[in-house]
Amino acid sequence: MPRDDIRMNDEQIRKTLQDGRVAILNTNGPRGFPHSMPMFYGLDDDLTVRFTTYESSQKVKNLERDPKVTLLIEGGEAYDELHAVMVEGRAEVVRGDLDATVATMVEAMRRAGNEMPDPKGLPEAAKKMMAGKRVHVLVRPERFVSFDHQKLPQAKTPKSLNESS
C-alpha cells in the first residue's frame, strides 16, 4: 500500500491536534541524544502549539541551545486505530508574560480534562504562585508528517475457521 494512502489531509491533521491531550516533545539534549518529554499543550488557530514549563528545566536549556523540536501527537489503541501527527518546528521561549503563561497553562490543563479557574479572574498573587517560575513556549509548525491506520484496507477474516468456500 502506498504511503500516501494513509497520510492525513489538512483537516484530519487539524482534528488530531485539536483532539490530542499530550504531545511528546523532543528537543536536542546536551549529549546529542533526543530528550523526549510528555507535555499538555494548548493550540492556536494557526496550529501553533503552546505549553509551559519551568524556566530552569532541561527542555528550556535545550531550546536555548537549539530551537528545533519535534512533537508527536498520537491516538488509537489497536493497530487498525493508530494515527499520529508529527510536527517539526522551531520553539520560541517567552519570558516575562505572566498572563500568557497562565492562560496557556489553564488551557493545556483543561484540554487534559482538569478543572481550572478562569485565568481572567485570578488575582496577581495567584498567577505568580501558579506560573511565576514558568516560561511559555511557542512551537510554530514548519512541517507535518502523519499516518492513519484507520485508512488501511480491513482484512477480511472468516467468521469461523470451519467455514468452507
pLDDT digits (tens, 9 = 90+) for 80-108: 889 999 999 999 999 999 999 999 999 99
pLDDT at 153 over 90: no
pLDDT at 160 over 60: no
**So what's the pLDDT on residue 2?**
62
User: Could you tell me which residues come within 8 angstroms of residue 6 by beta carbon, excluding any fewer than 6 positions away?
Assistant: 147, 148, 149, 151, 152
Residue pLDDT, tens place only, 28-64: 999 999 999 999 999 999 999 999 999 999 999 999 9
**So what's the pLDDT on residue 96?**
92
| 3 pLDDT tier (thresholds 50, 70, 90) | confident
- CB neighbour class for 75 (10 Å; exposed up to 12, middle 13-18, buried from 19): middle
| 156 pLDDT tier (thresholds 50, 70, 90) | very low
Fold of the domain built from segment(s) 3-151: Pnp Oxidase; Chain A (2.30.110)
**So what's the pLDDT on residue 155?**
36
| Domain limits, the chain | 3-151
What is the pLDDT of the chain when averaged over all its residues? 90
Phi/psi for 51 (5° steps) reads -150, 170
